[in-house]
Amino acid sequence: MNEVFEDLRAALFSVWHRRWLALAIAWGVCVVGWLAVALIPNAYESEARIYVQLDDVLAEQIGIAGGAEREITRVRQTLTSAVNLEKVVRSTKLGEDIADQRDMEAAIASLTDDVSVRSEADNLFELKAEIGKSDLTDSENAQLSTAVVQKLIDIFREENIAGNRGDVAETLVFLDQQLEDRKRELEAAEQRRLAFESENPDLIGGTGTLSTKIGSLRSELRSVEADLAAAQSALAAINGQLAGTPRTVVTPGVTGGARAALADARGQMASLQARGLTSSHPDVVALNKQIELLAKQAANENPSSVGSPNPAYTMQVSIKAERQANVQALASRQASLQSELTSLMASQSSEPGVAAEANRISRDYEVLKEKYDELLQDREEMKLRGQVENERSSFKFEVIDPPTSPRSPSAPNRPLLLIGVLIAGLAAGVGGAFAIGQLRSTFATTAKLERALDLPVLGAISHTLTDSAREIRNKRMKYFIAGTAALGGLCVILLAVEFLQRGMVA
């Protein structure tokens, strides 16, 4: 704790010893920062609220997709569409310096970022426009933000009061023409696809489908190989268990052995055949293999041996037969998949030109079909909406709150920035003085010198001043206090100027 206190004292002494440097750095940072803040133009925000009522009961009754909700989305999108924003630019001061189409596009892009539409409720919308042009005065920016919002409201009112029934009819005619053209193109593409698939059945669907098939076969082959390895491991395990299990269990006075087990298995076979099971049935196949094994064991068995069949051995023989059948089935499936995969890869690599043609034909057909389906759905929805609008359609538009005339800038928060620059300048001055003190090979305290040299320090010579030197020091202290106070006073003056300018905005 003492070391921390000593380090803190040393740091404070280092900064205080170089206080004039810290003050100079603070003045430099503050002046540069305040000039940068002064160059940021003020932005003024105007807002308005409008109410849009869409009475579309018939559309909801017959179940047209996207009734009122779709209309609300349309309202939100059309308010800030590129066409409307271009009208706003041309009818306000934003269009005074527009010379060509590139300037117009840049102005529209900038206005898109400055304008926002927010839905407060289902039918209530809030429009905001924040304008801050560096070539305009604060008063002009404030008036321009109000004009932009008012122009958006006027454009929206004109477009919706006039109605869009004529637009619906024109849109239907256009969609019918596009559908007819897409239909002919789709039929031609379908004929090309069918002709190609009849000549190249392996490449139906294009190289994309062929690659998908190859990938699927490889995945399935890996799965089968894993299952085969597991089945072979299980078969090896049962073989090991079977080798260590006796065939019979000797019981005094009881005859049996492999012959008895064989007789019992044949009895089970007779029972299965009596039930009508064919020789291809899995139970019959497994029992036949068990009978063959028992017959071989009975042939090698000593006729004089006595005992009864070991149930554990019989069960393991049955499990072995089942696992052998599983291994054979998986091996057969592996060979089939490998053959099919080899055939597909040969088809893909032997005729790359044909594969590319298949890919192109399939891609063209899918694109045309997707576009045709989209156009058909749009045509039907537009036709139904046109019929509904002819029968019943009501539109109510009302300005709840007119565009406000901003009196103070919405951005930037200049007072906060001015104070932040002052704090940053003071911090930079202190930090700079401390950093330079760290670079100098001096020691502020005897304890720090003793730790650095690892030698005992017997004492320190105090700094004494004469009366004239003390007078000079006091005078410099007054200058330093005056310089610091001037920095803070300049910040206060800038804040006062900022608030005065805000009050002068018309």
CATH number of the domain within which 73 lies = 3.30.1890
What is the H or E stretch that residue 45 is in? strand 44-55
Q: According to the model, what pLDDT value does residue 308 have?
A: 63
Total domains in the chain come to: 3
Q: Is residue 127 part of a domain?
A: yes
Q: Is residue 293 part of a domain?
A: yes
Both 432 and 499 in a single domain? yes
Both 427 and 322 in a single domain? no
Q: Is residue 392 part of a domain?
A: no
Q: Are 267 and 332 in contact (CB under 8 A)?
A: no
Q: Are 344 and 202 in contact (CB under 8 A)?
A: yes
Q: According to the model, what pLDDT value does residue 191 have?
A: 80
Q: According to the model, what pLDDT value does residue 424 have?
A: 94
Q: Which two tokens stand for residue 324?
A: 């052998």
Question: Which candidate, 134, 124, 129, 125, places its Cα nearest to that of 146?
Answer: 129
Cross-strand partners of 119? 125
- To the question of pTM greater than 0.85 for the whole model, the response is no
Both 30 and 68 in a single domain? no
Let me know the angle formed at the C-alpha of 23 by 18 and 27, rounded to the nearest 5 degrees: 150
Which residue range(s) make up the domain with 138? 44-162
Both 36 and 112 in a single domain? no
Both 286 and 219 in a single domain? yes
Q: Is residue 187 part of a domain?
A: no
Among 330, 350, 370, the domain-final residue is 350
What size, in residues, is the chain?
506
Both 15 and 66 in a single domain? no
Cross-strand partners of 309? 248
Beta strand spans in 105-241 (E): 115-119, 124-131
Q: How far apart are the first and last CA of the chain?
A: 61
Among 162, 177, 203, the domain-final residue is 162
Q: According to the model, what pLDDT value does residue 486 have?
A: 92
Q: Are 156 and 77 in contact (CB under 8 A)?
A: no
Cross-strand partners of 266? none
Q: Which two tokens stand for residue 424?
A: 């940053």
Rounded-to-integer distance, Cα 85 and Cα 152, Å: 8
Q: According to the model, what pLDDT value does residue 174 have?
A: 75
Q: Is residue 182 part of a domain?
A: no
Question: Which candidate, 329, 337, 324, places its Cα nearest to that of 292?
Answer: 324
Q: According to the model, what pLDDT value does residue 489 have?
A: 92
Q: Are 7 and 434 in contact (CB under 8 A)?
A: no
Residues of the chain with pLDDT under 50: 57-67, 206-207, 252-255, 306, 392, 506
Both 30 and 86 in a single domain? no
Both 330 and 223 in a single domain? yes
Both 14 and 88 in a single domain? no
Residue 399 gets the label, from left (phi > 0), alpha (psi -120 to 50) or beta, of: beta
Cross-strand partners of 117? 127
Q: Rounded to the nearest 5°, which phi and psi values hold at 55? A: -90, 95
Both 98 and 149 in a single domain? yes
Q: According to the model, what pLDDT value does residue 65 have?
A: 44
Q: Which two tokens stand for residue 78?
A: 């059309």
Helix, strand and coil percent figures for the chain, each rounded to 5 = 75, 10, 20
What is the H or E stretch that residue 40 is in? none
Whose tokens are 């006027």? That residue is 154
Q: Is residue 369 part of a domain?
A: no
What is the H or E stretch that residue 86 is in? helix 82-91
Upstream peptide bond of 406 is cis (omega within 30 degrees of 0): no
Question: Which candidate, 27, 14, 25, 20, places its Cα nearest to that of 432?
Answer: 25
Both 71 and 129 in a single domain? yes
Both 112 and 72 in a single domain? yes
Q: Is residue 493 part of a domain?
A: yes
Q: Is residue 29 part of a domain?
A: yes
Among 297, 324, 350, the domain-final residue is 350
